[in-house]
């Protein structure tokens, strides 16, 4: 995760460079800096759902950080449905909250509701996942990870695990929710490294398991029925990898050995599976975004949204199975 000093340095650098357009600057209802700064902020937050261990930790982080920051949080869980997120955002607009934040389940289809928020003078901060929009003024900043980089790191991790093996490597991929930024970008980053440096790697099966354990188990067992020769699994998150482990065992194979597994997140349960060498490596994706989100909400509410960078990036590490036991006691999610 970005530390506060680096966050301030980025903020200062962006301000010095002239800053970036932000809703707060353009919307009179949200800009009276010093007046707003002293009032308690009401933040309307629309969470994606409760699909994974990552998500549970992210929800807890947002709730804890709001409390610690004295921010009045209105929270809703969209159960992985875009229409629920759009209704929640509309209800926050109707309630005239000070700031809206959401973690968009998919990347497209947000312009209409974001324009409604802008017209109401309510600034929007994206958290965790990005959107595709032709109008960058529709949100102030994104607080979250670089998913394409995570996909690239997963491929590099697999290079290490395979130790320079040159023969064909048959890979199955469990994708996240179709249309979601982490699913699109993790696949892209992985494919990029694979095509550039590993022509012998072949993705022989790839399908969405919706970021859930049940989805990972079901899709992996279908993969195993169709392809008895899968050697590697790249899972877009730990929960799907944990479901896949059950499917691999049910097929009479040993996860981590007969089928080597790389996943993303670094949840507690993912680390436990790594200590058992069922998962060979995990690319960390840090869900503890609450404190950075609250800092950004305060900055925006104080009328200083234009000083924020467009993307407040999360910093994370990579872990191999032989590091898991030592790292496990220090994991925070
Ligand atoms: O990797 C997955 C969750 O958007 C980064 O969503 C997040 C992803 C995370 O369901 O476990």
CATH of the domain at 76: 3.40.50.2300
Domain housing 192: 147-285+319-330
What pLDDT was estimated at residue 36?
52
On the question of pLDDT at 325 being above 90, the answer is yes
Residues 223 and 269 in one domain: yes
Residues 272 and 295 in one domain: no
Mean pLDDT of 72-91: 98
Residues 67 and 117 in one domain: yes
Q: How far apart are CA 27 and CA 122, in angstroms?
A: 8
Residues 212 and 82 in one domain: no
Q: Looking at ligand 1, which atom is closest to the CA of residue 54? A: 11
Q: Is 128 in the pocket of ligand 1 (CB under 6 A)?
A: yes
List C-alpha distances in Å: 21 to 96, 102, 118, 128.
22, 20, 13, 21
Q: Indicate the average pLDDT of the chain.
A: 90
Q: Looking at ligand 1, which atom is closest to the CA of residue 144? A: 5
Residue 261, classified by CB atoms within 10 Å of its CB into exposed (0-12), middle (13-18) or buried (19+), is buried
Mean pLDDT of 274-300: 98
What pLDDT was estimated at residue 164?
80
Least confident of 29-43, 113-127, 172-186, 238-252: 29-43
Residues 227 and 154 in one domain: yes
Q: How far apart are CA 196 and CA 240, in angstroms?
A: 27
Ligand 1 midpoint to CA 316 (Å):
14
On the question of pLDDT at 165 being above 80, the answer is yes
Q: Percentage of residues in the chain with pLDDT exceeding 90?
A: 85
Compute the C-alpha angle 192/195/196, nearest 5°: 80
Number of domains in the chain: 2
Cβ-based neighbour number of residue 14 at 10 Å: 17
Mean pLDDT of 21-49: 63
Least confident of 29-43, 196-210, 241-255, 278-292: 29-43
Residue 8 placed within a domain: no
Q: Rounded to 5 degrees, what are φ and ψ at 39?
A: -85, 150
Residues 296 and 273 in one domain: no
Between helices 213-226 and 238-250, what is the axis angle to 10°? 40
Residue 314 placed within a domain: no
User: pLDDT tier at 38 (50, 70, 90 boundaries)?
Assistant: low
Residue 94 placed within a domain: yes
Residue 1 placed within a domain: no
On the question of pLDDT at 98 being above 90, the answer is yes
Ligand 1 midpoint to CA 238 (Å):
9
Residue 311 placed within a domain: no
Residues 164 and 96 in one domain: no
Q: 308-325 as b/e, with b when 16 or more CB fall inside 10 Å? A: bbeebbbebebbbbebbe
User: pLDDT tier at 270 (50, 70, 90 boundaries)?
Assistant: very high
Q: List the beta bridge partners of residue 261.
A: 233
Residues 135 and 156 in one domain: no
On the question of pLDDT at 4 being above 80, the answer is no
Residues 325 and 190 in one domain: yes
Residues 278 and 297 in one domain: no
What pLDDT was estimated at residue 199?
86
Residues 86 and 110 in one domain: yes
Q: How far apart are CA 178 and CA 166, in angstroms?
A: 32
Strand-strand pairing, 260-265 and 311-313: unpaired
What pLDDT was estimated at residue 12?
37
Residue 295 placed within a domain: yes
What pLDDT was estimated at residue 197?
84
Structure-block tokens of residue 49:
């759902």
Q: Is 186 in the pocket of ligand 1 (CB under 6 A)?
A: no
Q: What tens digit of pLDDT does each residue of 196-237 get? A: 988 899 999 999 999 999 999 999 999 999 999 999 999 999
Cβ-based neighbour number of residue 333 at 10 Å: 17
Q: Is 129 in the pocket of ligand 1 (CB under 6 A)?
A: yes
Residue 61 placed within a domain: yes
Strand-strand pairing, 281-284 and 318-320: antiparallel
Q: Looking at ligand 1, which atom is closest to the CA of residue 264? A: 1
Q: Is 102 in the pocket of ligand 1 (CB under 6 A)?
A: no
What pLDDT was estimated at residue 130?
97
Which of 1, 50, 52 to mutate for ligand 1's pocket (most ligand atoms within 8 Å of CB)? Answer: 52
Residue 112, classified by CB atoms within 10 Å of its CB into exposed (0-12), middle (13-18) or buried (19+), is exposed
On the question of pLDDT at 10 being above 50, the answer is no
Ligand 1 midpoint to CA 23 (Å):
27
Q: Is 55 in the pocket of ligand 1 (CB under 6 A)?
A: yes
Residues 257 and 115 in one domain: no
Residue nearest to atom 8 of ligand 1 (CA): 182
Q: Is 265 in the pocket of ligand 1 (CB under 6 A)?
A: yes
What pLDDT was estimated at residue 72?
98
Structure-block tokens of residue 50:
């409760």
Ligand 1 midpoint to CA 120 (Å):
30
Q: Is 211 in the pocket of ligand 1 (CB under 6 A)?
A: yes
Residue 109 placed within a domain: yes
């Amino acid at each position: 995760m970005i530390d506060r000093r680096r966050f301030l340095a980025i903020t200062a650098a962006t301000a010095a460079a002239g800053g970036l357009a932000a809703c707060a600057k353009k919307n009179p209802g949200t800009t009276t800096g010093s007046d707003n700064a002293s009032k308690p902020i009401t933040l309307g937050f629309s969470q994606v759902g409760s699909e994974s261990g990552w998500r549970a930790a992210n929800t807890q982080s947002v709730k804890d950080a709001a409390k610690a920051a004295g921010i009045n949080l209105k929270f809703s869980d969209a159960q992985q449905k875009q229409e629920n997120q759009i209704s929640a955002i509309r209800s926050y607009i109707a309630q005239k909250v000070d700031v809206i934040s959401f973690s968009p389940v998919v990347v497209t289809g947000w312009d209409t509701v974001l324009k409604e928020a802008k017209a109401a003078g309510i600034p929007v901060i994206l958290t965790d996942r990005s959107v595709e929009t032709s109008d960058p003024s529709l949100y102030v900043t994104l607080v979250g990870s670089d998913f394409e980089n995570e996909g690239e790191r997963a491929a590099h991790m697999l290079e290490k695990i395979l130790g320079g093996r040159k023969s064909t490597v048959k890979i199955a991929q469990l994708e996240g929710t179709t249309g979601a930024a982490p699913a699109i970008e993790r696949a892209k980053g992985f494919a990029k490294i694979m095509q550039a440096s590993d022509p012998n790697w072949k993705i022989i099966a790839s399908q969405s398991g919706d970021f859930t354990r049940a989805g990972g188990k079901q899709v992996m067992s279908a993969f195993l029925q169709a392809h008895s020769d899968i050697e590697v699994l790249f899972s877009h998150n730990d929960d799907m990898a944990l479901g896949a482990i059950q499917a691999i065992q049910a097929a009479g194979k040993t996860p981590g050995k007969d089928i080597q597994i790389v996943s993303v997140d670094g949840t507690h349960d993912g680390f436990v599976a790594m200590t058992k060498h069922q998962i060979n490596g995990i690319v960390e994706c840090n869900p503890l975004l609450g404190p950075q989100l609250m800092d950004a909400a305060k900055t925006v509410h104080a009328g200083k949204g234009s000083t924020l960078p467009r993307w407040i990036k999360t910093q994370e590490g990579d872990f191999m199975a032989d590091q898991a036991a030592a790292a496990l006691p220090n994991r925070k999610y």
